Amino acid sequence: MAIIPKRTEMPVQDPKVRAHNFDEVALGYTPALAAAEAQRCLNCKNRPCVKGCPVNIDIPDFITKIKENDIEGAYEIINRSSSLPSVCGRVCPQETQCESLCTLGIRFEPVAIGRLERYVADFHAEKGVKSAERPAPNGRRVAVVGSGPSGLTCAGDLAKKGYEVTVYEAFHTPGGVLVYGIPEFRLPKAIVSREIRSLERLGVKFENNVVIGRTFTVEELMASGFDAVFIGSGAGLPKFMNIPGESCIGVYSANEFLTRANLMKAYVDEPETPIMKGGRVAVVGGGNVAMDAARTALRLGAEKVTVIYRRSLEELPARKEEVEHAMEEGIDFCLLCSPTRILGYNNESDPRDPKNGFVTGIECIRMELGEPDSDGRRRPVEIKGSEFTLDVDTVIMSIGTSPNPLIKNTTSGLDINRYGGIIVDGSGKTSLRGVYAGGDAVTGAATVISAMGAGKVAASAIDEYLSK
Amino acid sequence: MEADGVTAPLFAKTVLFLPEGMTMYKILKKRKLNDFVTYMEIESPAVAAKAKAGQFIILRVDETGERIPLTVAGTDPDKGGVSIIFQVVGATTEKLNAKEEGGYISDFVGPLGEPTHTEGIEKVCIVGGGVGCAIALPVAREFRRLGREVTSIIGFRSKDLVILEDEFRLCSDSLTVMTDDGSYGRKGNVTLPLRETLETGRKFDRVITIGPLIMMKFVTQTAKEFGIPVTVSMNPIMIDGTGMCGGCRLTLVRDGKRIMKFACVDGPDFDGYEVDFDEAMLRNRAYNEFERKAHEATCNLLRGEVK
């Protein structure tokens, strides 16, 4: 079989157009493009891609089904391992996971596995005829705390095994970071909604507006007849840099900015939720959330958006496609720079000046890369005297989040590490009998797919525990 | 806009965009306290069973609305009712105020925040200002229920803004009502009677104050002069109350070090001696401006509907 060195490009919205709308950027493969890309898979014997997938999807098998034009068959294979295929096809960092190990990728471009996964999942949603059958109940009840990627995966896997699952969500709508964090243009809310409805068809119940740790405690859940509890409450508490000026008006956490924009629909023409728009925006950080915040700011009408990151482009942790898209859209990258303070307006002669306290700029210092640190990444070192100021009106801090202390504070006997993460063993088991945890609540801020992987592992451990 | 008495089952409410009017928390009671302040009792048995003085809830009026935090003003666990008292200050409270008894709101979640600490406080002075009195009332009631000595001072701008006077009288050993313009009670700020009382040599184990930031700043200063510990409720700076936005961050100054805290997760109660009020007041202005504009927009909208 002939080798096709280049991957099939996926159609995208024109950068000039999409920079002003919230519609999805990537448009997905057509049947012909998907078939062409599927042909590139060598179907090699050792299947390294499967090992690169945190939920071990049988990747070559589903691609083979695409080659055979059996898209529903491909969906069934993906669905065996993943509860949220149309989400993962869009947000997984495939270039560091499955695609990074692709045999074809050793000499050429790897197979675009993520794009194919997305194609299959979207095909199923639009045209698929078979709907998941609700399994016979096995009489066991499991409570899932949080409806983000780990909770949804855990709920889906258990429901498929006949467990009666109730998911508790603190917000007014389920989906966790998939709805409040990831913007519409990257993951349309309708897709998350679709995945949630398919879980409902499996019998999963969703109870919104319930804060576990407050409305009910974990102990109360256990006492009320649940046989096990999975905690997937995420890492919601934003971090700040602790530099001067972070309390100025116009400094947001990325969480606040994105939540206001996403969940509270500030992107609709007449939002009721306060969010500031326009002007010059600096986003501090280099992860996916920073890219999301920068691109959201642009779409909300910012004149200029600058991403400030302390290492170089090579170390930038965001998904490659998002960085490329951000650059195409005209977002500036101020690399090897680190903020030292945020400057605010201060009229000494008039303390009642309404402009007082508003951000006017951000002072940064240039960095160079020094010796590699413990994770092997070269540590950025300040270049003395290289400070400079960027004039901005808004600063968005996107330097990570830590777990919300609510469940820790209200659940006695639950062991927590010094970063506030819940301590679990390899199967997601916590220090409390029958209580499991996974996702950012355990690891601190990480990726959607790693949270899904943790939800999956915990679901199988819960099944084992309750089958004894 | 009002739903016609139909509540959706809990598990059906998972569609991301519900049709307009498909709402689920019933308004059991509504009462106007003054021209700007309204009392409502909302049906939420789970919250009613748990809420303690000092805690808050978050609500959304409808499916396109903003999430706003409001302090629990009281509970009726038997009926499953949770009372809230709110001032019409922005688009959201305006819309809430347009709802009537028997109507529904789409979201109601809680109780959130740490309850007010009562341990070891035998003699307490509660100082409430304006609509902050609605937050102070359940705290006063709780101390009363525990059999502690409650001295209450409540202040308002003028007579027509006075709320909850009878309720405070019922749970206080002594009550002083102040108005800025002297149109009711005594004329002056709440710090006036507080200072007078403390100057007589009277001691409190703690002063608990809830109201505008500027008032809490001066109550704290006054009590500090006499060495009385102060708890302040930083409710006024909360934005969405879930601990994830960081919008309600405030700075505590402890042993010369500046520490960042989130009002909704770490509070809402803080040690008044430690709070950087000036910074909090500056930050608080940002959203006020927006709320005012949004309020005007909604006002005009509703006016249009009435015509």
Q: Model confidence over A236-295: pLDDT tens digits? A: 889 999 999 998 988 999 988 888 777 655 445 554 444 555 689 999 999 999 999 999
The owner of tokens 């997938």 is A53
Q: Identify whether residues B75 and B20 lie together within a single domain.
A: yes
Rounded to two decimals, the pTM is: 0.86
| Other C-beta atoms lying within 10 Å of the C-beta of residue A267 | 18
Do B111 and A214 count as a contact with CB atoms less than 8 A apart?
Answer: yes
Domain assignment of residue B72, yes or no: yes
Handedness of CA A223, A229, A231, A233 (dihedral sign): negative
Chain B residues lying within 8 Å of A174, measured CB to CB = 14
Q: Which amino acid is at A111?
A: V
Q: Are residues B63 and B132 in the same domain?
A: no
B132, B85: one domain? no
Question: Average pLDDT, stretch A424-428?
Answer: 95
Distance of CA A227 to the CA centre of its chain: 29
Residues of B in contact with A175 (CB under 8 A): 16
What percentage of chain A reaches a pLDDT higher than 90? Answer: 67
Q: The domain containing residue B77 runs over which residues?
A: 10-112
Give B-chain residues touching A289 at CB under 8 angstroms.
none
Chain A residues 21-80 with CB within 8 Å of chain B: none
Encoding tokens for residue A45? 């014997």
Q: Minimal Cα distance from A210: which residue of B?
A: B109
The phi, psi pair for B133, rounded to 5°, reads -60, -30
Q: Are residues B137 and B221 in the same domain?
A: yes
Which of B92, B109, B290 is opposite residue A170, by nearest beta carbon? B109
Roughly what angle, to the nearest 10 degrees, separates helices A59-67 and A113-127? 60
Of A196, A210, A247, the CB nearest to B249: A247
Q: Are A200 and B285 inside 8 Å of each other by CB? A: no
- A242 lies within 8 A of chain B by CB: yes
Residue B271: which CATH number? 3.40.50.80
Give the pLDDT band of residue B118 (cuts 50, 70, 90).
Answer: very high
**Residue B290's pLDDT is what?**
52
Are residues A415 and A430 in contact, defined by beta-carbon separation less than 8 angstroms?
yes
Distance from the A446 Cα atom to the nearest Cα atom in chain B, whole angstroms: 16
Is pLDDT at B202 greater than 90 in this prediction?
Answer: yes
**Long-range contact pairs involving A125-132 (C-beta distance under 8 Å, separation at least 24):** A125/A86, A125/A191, A125/A194, A127/A71, A128/A72, A128/A75, A129/A72, A130/A72, A130/A76, A131/A198, A131/A201, A132/A79, A132/A160, A132/A198, A132/A201, A132/A202
Q: How far is B211 from chain A (nearest CA, A)?
A: 21
Q: Is residue B307 part of a domain?
A: no
- Domains assigned to chain A: 15-127 (1.10.1060.10), 141-236+402-467 (3.50.50.60), 240-399 (3.50.50.60)
What sections of chain B are H helices per DSSP? 45-50, 91-97, 133-145, 165-171, 191-199, 213-225, 263-266, 277-306
- At residue B3, the pLDDT reads 33
Cβ within 8 Å, pair A256-B246: yes
Is residue B117 included in any domain, yes or no? no
Tokens coding A26: 């990537």
Chain B touched by A352 (CB under 8 Å): no
Domain match, B63 and B140 both: no
CATH value at residue B25: 2.40.30.10
Is residue B186 assigned to a domain?
yes
> CA-CA distance, B122 to A120, in Å (whole number)?
67
Asked if residue B74 belongs to a domain, the reply is yes
Tell whether the model's pLDDT for residue B303 goes beyond 60: no
Task: Tell me which H or E stretch contains A159.
Answer: helix A149-160
The verdict on B248 and B165 lying in the same domain is: yes
Give Dmax (Cα) for chain B. 62
Question: For A385-408, what is each residue's pLDDT tens digit?
Answer: 999 999 999 999 999 988 888 898
Q: How confident is the model at residue A198 (pLDDT cuts 50, 70, 90)?
A: confident
Assess whether pLDDT exceeds 80 at residue A18.
yes
- pLDDT value, residue A277: 59
CB pairs under 8 A between A and B: 136
CB pair distance less than 8 Å for A175 and B91: no
Q: For residue A321, what is the enclosing H or E element?
A: helix A320-328
Q: Is B107 in Cβ contact with A200 (below 8 Å)?
A: no
For residue A194, the chain B residue with the least C-alpha distance is B15
Question: Do the chains contact at A256 and B249, CB–CB below 8 Å?
Answer: no
Inter-axis angle of helices A320-328 and A288-299, nearest 10: 30
Closest CA to A446 of A333, A313, A317, A321: A317
In this predicted structure, what is the pLDDT of residue A93? 85
* Residue B265 forms part of a structural domain: yes
> Over the stretch A162-189, which tens digit does the pLDDT of each residue have?
999 999 999 888 999 998 889 989 999 8
Token representation of residue B137: 């009332």
DSSP state of B184: S
**What average pLDDT score do residues B199-210 get?**
96
Say if A243 is an interface residue toward chain B (CB within 8 Å).
no
What was the pLDDT predicted at B7?
31
Residue A460 reports pLDDT greater than 90: yes
Cβ count near A343 (within 10 Å): 18
Residue in B108, B239, B282 closest to A357 by CB: B282
CB contact under 8 Å between B244 and A190, yes or no, is no
In the stretch 152-211 of chain A, residues with CB closer than 8 A to chain B read: 170-175, 179-180, 189-190, 192-193, 196-197, 200, 205-211
Provide mean pLDDT across the span B103-121: 93
Average pLDDT, chain A: 90
Looking at the fold, whether B29 and B102 belong to one and the same domain comes out as yes
Is residue B100 domain-shared with residue B63, that is, in the same domain? Answer: yes
What is the count of structural domains for chain B? 2
- Whether A404 and B243 lie within 8 Å, measured CB to CB: yes
Best mutation target, B14, B17, B300, to test chain A (most A CBs within 10 A)? B14
Q: Are residues B266 and B140 in the same domain?
A: yes
Interface check A394 vs B, CB under 8 A: no
Do the domain assignments include residue B292? no
Q: B146 lies in a domain?
A: yes
CB B88 within 8 A of CB B97: yes
The verdict on B162 and B93 lying in the same domain is: no
CA distance A360 to A43: 56
Does B16 contact A173 at a Cβ distance shorter than 8 Å? yes
What's the rounded mean pLDDT across residues B7-19?
32
Quickly count: other Cβ atoms within 10 Å of residue A23's Cβ.
Answer: 12
Question: In this complex, which of A215, A274, A404 lies closest to B47 when CB atoms are compared?
Answer: A215
User: Are B19 and B166 found together in one domain?
Assistant: no
Q: Taking CB atoms and an 8 Å cutoff, what residues of chain B touch A246?
A: 249, 260
Distance, in Å, from the CA atom of A110 to the CA atom of A99, rounded to the nearest integer, reads 6
Q: What is the mean pLDDT of residues B36-44?
A: 93
A265:B106 CB<8 A = no
CB contact under 8 Å between B290 and A274, yes or no, is yes
Last residue of a domain, one of B112, B135, B153: B112
Record: contact B294-A172, CB cut-off 8 A:
no
Same-domain status, B132 and B101: no
B242:A236 CB<8 A: yes
